[in-house]
Structure 1
Amino acid sequence: MSIYYKMVFGILVAEVSFFSVLALPLPSKIRKPLVSVLVRPFLNDIIQVAIKCMLGFVLLLFVDSINRVYSVEQELDAINPAGGYSSSRMEVLSRKFFAQRNMYLTGITLFLTFVVVRTFNLVRELLELKDHYHLASPDYDTSAEEKRNVELKKELQSKIAERDAEIERLKEKAKALQKEI
Structure 2
Amino acid sequence: MTLYYSLVFALLMFEMLVFLALIVPMPFNWKRGLFSFISHSPIVAKLQYGMKITFIFILILFIDSVNRVYRVQQELSVSKNAGGAAAAVAGSERMEVQARKFYSQRNMYLCGFTLFLSLILNRTYTMILDTLRLESEVKSMKGEKPATDKKDNELAEADEIGQVAKLKEELRKRDRDIETLKKQSKGLSDEYQRLGDDFHVSDGTPKKDV
TM-score (norm 1): 0.69
Q: 2:165 matched to 1:131?
A: no
Q: 2:73 matched to 1:68?
A: no
Code of the aligned partner of 1:43: A
Map of 2:169 onto structure 1: none
Q: For 1:112, which of 111, 114, 117 is the aligned residue?
A: 117
Shift of residue 100, structure 1, vs aligned partner: 0.3
Map of 1:5 onto structure 2: 5
Map of 1:159 onto structure 2: none
Shift of residue 48, structure 1, vs aligned partner: 3.6
Code of the aligned partner of 1:95: R
Determine which structure has more spread, i.e. the larger CA radius of gyration.
2
Q: How does 1:1-181 map to 2 (within 5 A)?
A: 1-39=1-39, 40=41, 41-44=43-46, 47-80=47-80, 83=87, 86-137=91-142, 140=144
Describe the shift of the 1:137–1:61 C-alpha distance in structure 2 as closer, same or farther (beyond 3 A): same
Looking at structure 2, the residues matched to 36 and 141 of structure 1 have their Cα atoms a distance apart, in angstroms, of: 17
Looking at structure 2, the residues matched to 141 and 6 of structure 1 have their Cα atoms a distance apart, in angstroms, of: 48
Shift of residue 124, structure 1, vs aligned partner: 1.2
State the SS of the aligned residue for 2:26: coil
Looking at structure 1, the residues matched to 138 and 105 of structure 2 have their Cα atoms a distance apart, in angstroms, of: 48
Describe the shift of the 1:29–1:91 C-alpha distance in structure 2 as closer, same or farther (beyond 3 A): same
5+ long unaligned stretches in structure 1: 143-148, 150-181
Looking at structure 2, the residues matched to 141 and 74 of structure 1 have their Cα atoms a distance apart, in angstroms, of: 65
TM-score (norm 2): 0.60
- The 4+ residue runs of structure 1 with deviation greater than 6 A are none
Map of 2:171 onto structure 1: none
Code of the aligned partner of 2:142: S
Code of the aligned partner of 2:61: L
Looking at structure 2, the residues matched to 133 and 119 of structure 1 have their Cα atoms a distance apart, in angstroms, of: 21
How far does the alpha carbon of each residue in 1:120-149 deviate from its partner, in whole angstroms, 9 at most, with x for none? 1111111111111101125x489xxxxxx9
Code of the aligned partner of 2:106: R
Code of the aligned partner of 1:93: Q
State the SS of the aligned residue for 1:90: helix
Code of the aligned partner of 1:96: K
Shift of residue 88, structure 1, vs aligned partner: 1.4
How far does the alpha carbon of each residue in 1:55-76 deviate from its partner, in whole angstroms, 9 at most, with x for none? 1100000000000000000011
Q: How many residues align?
A: 140
Looking at structure 2, the residues matched to 6 and 110 of structure 1 have their Cα atoms a distance apart, in angstroms, of: 15
Does structure 1 retain, via aligned residues, the 8 Å contact 2:139–2:145?
A: no
Which one has more relative contact order, counting CA pairs under 8 Å at least 6 apart? 1
Shift of residue 111, structure 1, vs aligned partner: 0.6
Shift of residue 38, structure 1, vs aligned partner: 4.3
How far does the alpha carbon of each residue in 1:141-164 deviate from its partner, in whole angstroms, 9 at most, with x for none? 89xxxxxx9xxxxxxxxxxxxxxx
